[in-house]
Amino acid sequence: SQTIHQWPATLVQPVGSPLSLECTVEGTSNPNLYWYRQAAGRGLQLLFYSVGIGQISSEVPQNLSASRPQDRQFILSSKKLLLSDSGFYLCAWNRQRSEKLFFGSGTQLSVL
Amino acid sequence: KNEVEQSPQNLTAQEGEFITINCSYSVGISALHWLQQHPGGGIVSLFMLSSGKKKHGRLIATINIQEKHSSLHITASHPRDSAVYICAVMTGTASKLTFGTGTRLQVTL
């Protein structure tokens, strides 16, 4: 069966520090991968999506970047965190040409 | 861009009550998701609909494509149903998923 792992679950980082959130999917190959963010009091917003290794599309301009070094690994990064980067980050995946999405457990990021 | 509105934003119910959460969207879609987010943040997909009605246990989801409206019903609500319920609509490829801001449900004894 397919599973998605996302870590860490919570993270407190100072302003200006780097960030690396990791998401891996097991039990499938060539998934579409997504990073979403949920700011306090707001709905989920798509940040990045990837349809294959090394292929990253960004939906909104921001302080973050994403990479897909392996087929089932999706990494969200920042060189210098801002206060506005605080929020709940969620990784998700689906099969190519499938509309059913599977979500990770999320990372609550607090930038202080 | 698809605008997704959910109502109500907050809902308090007593155990056993029948609950309805509504979702309206502005642009034609290929599918609609109902998601459940528990305290701590993890999200579970409850339903994915493109037409008609689906039922899973005490949960029922309906969609009216012509009216661009979907409802999530919970029969015989229970405190463990307390969570945020999120409607998300999909247009075209899965990357184009627009989320509502959620309905916070609290079921009390």
Helix, coil or strand: residue A84: helix
Contact A69, A110 (CB under 8 A): no
CA distances in angstroms from A7 to A19, A40, A73, A90, listed in the order given: 12, 20, 12, 10
Please calculate the CA angle B73-B76-B81 and round it to the nearest 5 degrees: 70
pLDDT digits (tens, 9 = 90+) for A44-77: 888 999 999 999 988 877 789 999 999 999 999 9
Give the pLDDT of chain B (109 residues) as one tens digit per residue: 678 999 999 999 999 999 999 999 998 888 899 999 887 777 888 999 989 999 999 999 999 999 999 999 999 999 999 999 999 998 766 567 788 989 999 999 9
The A residues from 9 to 68 touching B (CB cutoff 8 Å) are 32, 34, 36, 38, 41-46, 49, 57, 59
- Maximum Cα–Cα distance across chain B: 42
Give B4→chain A minimum CA distance, Å: 10
A3-32 pLDDT, tens digit per residue, is 899 989 899 999 999 999 999 999 999 999
Three-state SS at A54: coil
Token output for A7: 């870590």
> What is the pLDDT, as a whole number, of residue B93?
63
